[in-house]
């Protein structure tokens, strides 16, 4: 299967604070939106989400009287980028579309001391309410405010939580699957390996509040991160490149839609004014692993995950970059189902230990079948004679084709014997009666991948911000047992190769029009290619 999709969306956000006046959209804006909508008619649309948070509050003096016209500066402590606003007539202020990070707020008003509040953490889609009380004094006097902002968001009914960078870095992650941390939230349960639907073995597949694993919606930096075939999470940046992500499990805001399950909104790291990065390697093997209950041997495991990140300034306080690479090389034993195979005696035509044959031949008699083979050996000819030649009626059941339940050697097809010897393994597991009739194997499979990401952030002006993001993953997997979707079998030697490639381009322009209105335009192009084909490991064909 090979597919590609272009996804684009134009978002126009209007946030209203108490007693703030909203200005109607002007005619040029209406014209531009109409042009964009007509252009988007030729694309596949997907609901995208904003990643920014909000900081809001009310400023008053020490008597409780609200203060209008207070100058407020919001400074990103990592990048040095700042934004400004003023309180309205009700003393209220709002910063919209604040990118996740740590910030400093400064409050200045003539006749009052300057208040500074540092280390304000804004989470993805989070809301920080910070009210400020200003004391009379000289503006040059600075008051450091150390009180904590409220931990409970009283402005939204959404249910969910944020998994921050500290949790991603410190909590154990099997195979470095960041989305496994979704299970820390109430009502979230993994569906990996459940075989409930195609793709349920993919990393990050979870059920939220009893919903299907396909019902969730994943976005990365606001762009679509879902597989267009099965609606599963396929854009999965390396944990070292993720800043944080929010999972919303119920009562979504109006900007979310399309899916009935949870919303997972991922934000990747951006560069700062200081150059920073890391290099890492994670290795696992089978030494400390336990043998599976049904496995005859301990599966092999050689797992290497390695990579590096680098971020920093292109131009201080204005342009930044952050890039990452991660490679994965895994050799792992894959357990097969327990299957019934012919015993060593049955391979020789000896079926006397089994039950008597009884069956209905729908189109031919046994004698017709044996005669058609043109076998002339004495035992085979005798078997035909014992059946009465061609006298038996087609469709009748015969309990004793061969009186001793032993097929003579000259009645056995040499081609079938060669196929049996080459492709069907000998039994190695006993059944419930103690007979050696079952087979199970743990051959090795390969799971390799390479991932590259790059994020660019540019401050156009105090009111405009441009962000670009590129994601690329090339994944190659060999499964020694071709599953049903490939038409294969559960015996070794009939494997399947899967090649996957996922790419996402994401460009976002954020424009703060005024203190209450933000326009965000985002273009996302997502492309995926998937190809699965049978790959038998046998070196020759039987003729």
**pLDDT tens column, 189-202:** 887 655 454 555 56
pLDDT in the model for residue 524: 92
Name residues whose C-beta falls within 8 Å of residue 446's C-beta, 6 or more positions apart in sequence: 330, 331, 476, 477, 478
The model carries a pTM of: 0.74
Give pLDDT tens digits for 318-332. 999 999 999 999 998
Query: How many Cα atoms occupy the beta-carbon half-sphere of 347 within 13 Å?
Result: 17
Closest CA to 533 of 491, 492, 477: 477
Closest CA to 320 of 499, 80, 34, 529: 80
The Cα–Cα gap between 446 and 331 comes to 5
Alpha helices (runs of H) in 161-221, residue ranges in sequence order? 165-170
pLDDT at 17 over 50: no
Higher pLDDT, 231 or 242: 242
pLDDT in the model for residue 414: 84
Percent share of the chain, pLDDT over 90: 28
Handedness of CA 221, 159, 94, 28 (dihedral sign): positive
Closest CA to 96 of 81, 71, 68, 74: 74
Q: Are strands 223-224 and 217-220 parallel, antiparallel or unpaired?
A: antiparallel
Tell me how many degrees the CA angle 12-17-23 measures, rounded to the nearest 5. Answer: 50
Percent share of the chain, pLDDT over 70: 73
Closest CA to 309 of 298, 325, 297: 325
Span of 253-257, 413-417, 535-539 with lowest mean pLDDT: 535-539
pLDDT band at 497 (very low <50, low <70, confident <90, very high): confident
Mean pLDDT of 419-444: 84
Q: Where are the domains of the chain?
A: 350-411
Query: How many Cα atoms occupy the beta-carbon half-sphere of 536 within 13 Å?
Result: 9
The Cα–Cα gap between 200 and 483 comes to 13
Closest CA to 469 of 224, 280, 244: 224
- 345 by DSSP, 3-state: which? helix
pLDDT at 294 over 90: no
pLDDT in the model for residue 299: 85
The Cα–Cα gap between 200 and 509 comes to 36
pLDDT in the model for residue 206: 84
Give pLDDT tens digits for 451-480. 999 999 999 988 899 999 999 999 998 888
């Amino acid at each position: 299967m090979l597919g590609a999709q272009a996804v684009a969306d134009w978002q126009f956000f209007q946030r209203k604070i108490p007693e703030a006046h909203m200005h109607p959209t002007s005619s040029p804006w209406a014209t531009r939106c109409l042009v964009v909508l007509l252009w988007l008619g030729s694309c596949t649309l997907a609901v995208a989400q904003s990643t920014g948070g909000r900081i809001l509050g009310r400023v008053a003096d020490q008597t409780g009287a609200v203060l209008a016209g207070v100058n407020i500066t919001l400074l990103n402590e990592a990048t040095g980028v700042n934004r400004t606003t003023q309180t309205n007539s009700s003393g209220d202020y709002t910063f919209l579309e604040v990118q996740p990070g740590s910030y400093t707020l400064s409050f200045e008003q003539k006749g009052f001391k300057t208040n500074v509040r540092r280390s304000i953490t804004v989470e993805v889609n989070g809301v920080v309410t910070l009210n400020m009380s200003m004391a009379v004094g000289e503006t040059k006097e600075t008051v450091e405010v150390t009180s904590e902002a409220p931990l409970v968001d009283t402005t939204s009914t959404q249910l969910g939580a944020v998994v921050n960078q500290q949790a991603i870095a410190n909590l154990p992650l099997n195979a470095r699957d960041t989305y496994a941390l979704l299970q820390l939230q109430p009502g979230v349960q993994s569906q990996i390996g459940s075989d409930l639907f195609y793709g349920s073995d993919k990393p990050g597949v979870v059920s939220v509040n009893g919903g299907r694993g396909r019902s969730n919606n994943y976005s990365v930096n606001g762009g679509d991160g879902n597989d267009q075939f099965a609606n599963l999470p396929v854009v999965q940046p390396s944990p070292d490149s993720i800043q944080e992500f929010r999972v919303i499990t119920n009562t979504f805001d109006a900007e979310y839609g399309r899916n009935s399950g949870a919303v997972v909104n991922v934000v990747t790291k951006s560069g700062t004014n200081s150059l920073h990065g890391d290099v890492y390697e994670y290795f696992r093997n089978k030494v400390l692993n336990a043998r599976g209950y049904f496995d005859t041997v301990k599966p092999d495991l050689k797992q290497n995950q390695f990579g590096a990140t680098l971020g920093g300034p292109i131009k201080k306080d204005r342009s930044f970059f952050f890039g990452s690479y991660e490679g994965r090389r895994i050799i792992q034993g894959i357990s097969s189902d327990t299957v019934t195979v012919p015993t060593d005696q049955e391979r020789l035509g000896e079926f006397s230990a089994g039950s008597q044959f009884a069956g209905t031949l729908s189109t031919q008699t046994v004698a017709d079948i044996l005669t058609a083979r043109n076998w002339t050996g004495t035992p085979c000819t005798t078997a035909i004679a014992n059946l009465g030649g061609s006298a038996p009626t087609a469709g009748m059941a015969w309990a004793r084709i061969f009186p001793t339940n032993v097929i003579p050697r000259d009645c056995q097809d040499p081609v079938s014997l060669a196929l049996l010897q080459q492709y069907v393994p000998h039994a190695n597991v006993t059944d419930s009666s103690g007979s050696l009739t079952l087979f199970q194997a743990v051959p090795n499979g390969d799971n390799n991948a390479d991932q590259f990401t790059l994020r660019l952030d540019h401050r156009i002006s105090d009111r405009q911000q441009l962000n670009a993001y590129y994601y690329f993953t090339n994944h190659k997997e060999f499964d020694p047992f071709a599953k049903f979707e490939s038409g294969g079998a559960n015996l070794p030697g009939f494997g399947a190769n899967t090649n996957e490639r996922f790419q996402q381009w994401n460009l976002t322009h954020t424009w703060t029009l005024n203190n209450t209105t933000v326009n965000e335009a985002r273009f996302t192009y997502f492309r995926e290619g998937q190809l699965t084909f049978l790959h038998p490991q046998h070196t020759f064909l039987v003729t």
